[in-house]
Chain A
């Protein structure tokens, strides 16, 4: 197994955590969005979540990186708020707000940032290992 495999595994983790961060930012940005671009009228933004899957990166089955295989919508019900003056209110005066849980999105974002750091540290360690190996050849 080449030392570059280790770096590529860490890089796949970095990419995965970047995507997780993107999705958390999207959820936070749309926490009060009552309309979607192509969806039906009156349907608010839906909270999204990334699905990860382990993926073999090198010749060894034990060496597995990660890849995002999809983004799914949360099934939690929308928040209904009585606000008759809102242009998106239904005939009873209720507005459907997104099912985004802001506090859980914030913790998810912190988790993504920390996981990114962890994967960067792993890449750094693999790089240092390779440089140490190269130093063996020096007089």
Chain B
């Protein structure tokens, strides 16, 4: 959920398109309409500084990812050491962590793509 929140918060960047006057960032502002689907909190609304909420949700997503990776790590170590953990619990925890990592990497790719789109703007 936080990862999706991070994606929608990218819409804060789309405000830049007003400055540059180009339409190169329009795919991302299009993504901001996904906000209308609910679920995500209204932090992307204009009252808050956009950079602030964006950074918050990004660091939230990273924190959650890190704790999931750590949990998968420790349960795998516990299992390898002959602990009482079930094999399926360990495997599913690792899958959860790997899916979160995939989602986070995708969000990062989107961000870098957006940044590069803006940097390529003709002046």
Instruction: Please give the residue numbers on chain A whose beta carbons come within 8 Å of chain B beta carbons, in ascending order.
Output: 2-4, 7-8, 10-11, 14-15, 18, 120, 123, 127, 130-131, 134, 137-138
Contact = CB atoms under 8 A, between A and B. Distances in A.
Given A18-B88, A123-B92, A137-B107, 13 more contacts: A2-B1, A4-B96, A7-B96, A8-B92, A10-B92, A11-B92, A14-B88, A15-B89, A120-B88, A127-B99, A131-B102, A134-B103, A138-B106
Contact of B86 (A15, A130, A138): A15
A137 B110 contact: yes
A134 B106 contact: yes
From DSSP, what is the main secondary structure of chain A's interface residues?
A: helix
Contacts of A4: 96
Contacts of A138: 106
B65 interface: no
B58 interface: no
Interface of B: 1, 7, 86, 88-89, 92, 95-96, 99, 102-103, 106-107, 110
B86 A7 contact: no
B86 A14 contact: yes
From DSSP, what is the main secondary structure of chain B's interface residues?
A: helix
Contact of B89 (A11, A120, A134): A11
Contacts of B106: 134, 137-138
Nearest to A139: B113
8 contacts: A7-B92, A7-B95, A7-B96, A15-B89, A131-B99, A131-B102, A137-B7, A137-B103
A134 B96 CA distance: 13
A8 B86 CA distance: 13
Query: Shortest 7 CB-CB distances between A and B: which pairs?
Result: A14-B88, A137-B106, A11-B92, A130-B99, A134-B102, A134-B103, A4-B96
B68 to A, nearest CB: 9
Contacts of B1: 2
